[in-house]
Amino acid sequence: MNSLKTSQDFVKSVLTKMISFDTQNPPGKTAALVAYLEELGQQLGITTKIIEYDEEKANIIWILGSGSKKILFSGHLDTVPVGSIAEWSFDPLTAVELENNFIGGRGTADMKGGVASILGVFHTMKDRIDDFDVQLIYLGTSDEETTMEGARRIPDEYVKNADILIVTEATDMKVGIAEKGAYWLKVIVKGKAAHGSQPWEGINAIIKSVELSKEVAGILEADVNHPLLGKSTFNLGKLHGGTKTNIVPERAEMEWDIRLVPNLDKKAFLQRLEQLFAEYRNKHGVKVETSVIHDIPALECRNVNHPFIQYLKQQTGEFIGLTYGTDAAALLQKNPNVPFIIFGPGDPRIIHKHDEKISLAQVVQASDLLIDAIRKAYSSESDT
């Protein structure tokens, strides 16, 4: 069979162009980038659809082929903010050519490079798609870096009968099959005020807040271990309380960032939390009020024996888990049984930092490996 190899010139030109659209989130304006991808798709003979959900935000969908097996690719279009420009050694909003065939700029690794790999797959396979019983669907979403609203707006039908979902977030070409969930809580602790010279008369809400936080961290530490992700984690990210040096603070407000592993029983954990709050009320006289800020479920791939996944694993080594969530968490709520992987170019250690960059060779390699995995998993060829 003729080789299907990704064109480096193509992925370089689309990556360069995509970086030039400022999609920093907030505010996460993606409409102009979506319009570019619509035009590009049409030029390539690909069916495109736009899902608008805000004046300046949209999702783009590319569809290629009409085979029976639906292969979903997911890659978000927004980026985190560039932060302090002074810390960058190059302009983050122009794709800058760096040494060793790297491209620099905000979003190169997270994850316009990964999107370029997906577009590379479409570009390479467009004239040969009928050789395979597949339909390739790219879901280009907005707001992944904040609320995952874009992924939530993808119509259920795309995910319901998908054969596999591939999220090309930066994994340095490792195959991720699990990700932690995020459970963020706002917690208000109410104690009792007293004069600072008589602290025994009051209940110090700040001290109780810290003690309570430590107990929650301890509960997670004592809970299950995940073979790829280790333990669930707890971070006390914000704590405000108190009004004056000489007053025992009666109120404190915290924000907790809890990251749960997929094999932890979340329902039981939440019950344990309620029990703990009740203990604090009964034993320490403090009232605890909570509200959920953010809730993204943990995920674990339900069929790692899928031939597409097994092929990529053979090419890249051992499976990994991700400590953060991806659009997969929102997409798979529409059908949790779809096998999924997180697999893409880029070093996950440099995302969200200044001087973000990506190896162009790796973007091409990711595209090539995805194409080869499609050939292995979805064709009856004997010569591949």
What is the binding site for Zn ion (CB under 5 A)?
A: 110-111, 169
Q: How far is the CB of 34 from Zn ion (least distance, A)?
A: 17
Q: Whose Cβ is closer to Zn ion: residue 144's or residue 163's?
A: 144
Q: Whose Cβ is closer to Zn ion: residue 79's or residue 204's?
A: 79
Q: How far is the CB of 175 from Zn ion (least distance, A)?
A: 17
Q: Whose Cβ is closer to Zn ion: residue 110's or residue 368's?
A: 110
Q: Cβ(77)–Cβ(33) under 8 Å? A: yes
Q: How far is the CB of 77 from Zn ion (least distance, A)?
A: 10
Q: Whose Cβ is closer to Zn ion: residue 110's or residue 179's?
A: 110
Q: Whose Cβ is closer to Zn ion: residue 169's or residue 356's?
A: 169
Cα 141–310–77 angle (5° rounding)? 10
User: How far, CA to CA in Å, does 247 sit from each of 144, 251, 288, 366?
Assistant: 43, 11, 20, 59
User: How far, CA to CA in Å, does 356 sit from each of 68, 76, 105, 305?
Assistant: 39, 17, 6, 34
Q: Whose Cβ is closer to Zn ion: residue 111's or residue 125's?
A: 111
Query: Which 3 state secondary structure label does DSSP give 164?
Result: strand
Q: Whose Cβ is closer to Zn ion: residue 38's or residue 169's?
A: 169
* Calpha distance 379→352 (Å, rounded): 38
For residue 255, list its beta bridge partners: 186, 238
Which residue number has the CB closest to Zn ion?
A: 110
Query: Which 3 state secondary structure label does DSSP give 131?
Result: helix
Q: How far is the CB of 134 from Zn ion (least distance, A)?
A: 25
One-character DSSP codes across 175-242: EEEEE-EEEEEEEEEE-B-EETT-GGGSB-HHHHHHHHHHHHHHHHHHS-EETTTEE-EEEEEEEEE-
Q: How far is the CB of 76 from Zn ion (least distance, A)?
A: 6
Q: How far is the CB of 109 from Zn ion (least distance, A)?
A: 9
One-character DSSP codes across 266-334: HHHHHHHHHHHHHHHHHHH--EEEEEEEEEE--EE-S-TT-HHHHHHHHHH-SEEEESS--HHHHHGGG
Q: How far is the CB of 23 from Zn ion (least distance, A)?
A: 12
Q: Whose Cβ is closer to Zn ion: residue 108's or residue 124's?
A: 108
* Calpha distance 235→310 (Å, rounded): 35
* Calpha distance 322→342 (Å, rounded): 8
- List of residues 6+ apart from 216 with CB closer than 8 A: 234, 256, 258, 273, 276
Q: Whose Cβ is closer to Zn ion: residue 61's or residue 111's?
A: 111
Query: Which 3 state secondary structure label does DSSP give 142?
Result: coil
Q: How far is the CB of 257 from Zn ion (least distance, A)?
A: 17
305 CB neighbour count, 10 Å cutoff:
8
Q: How far is the CB of 176 from Zn ion (least distance, A)?
A: 12
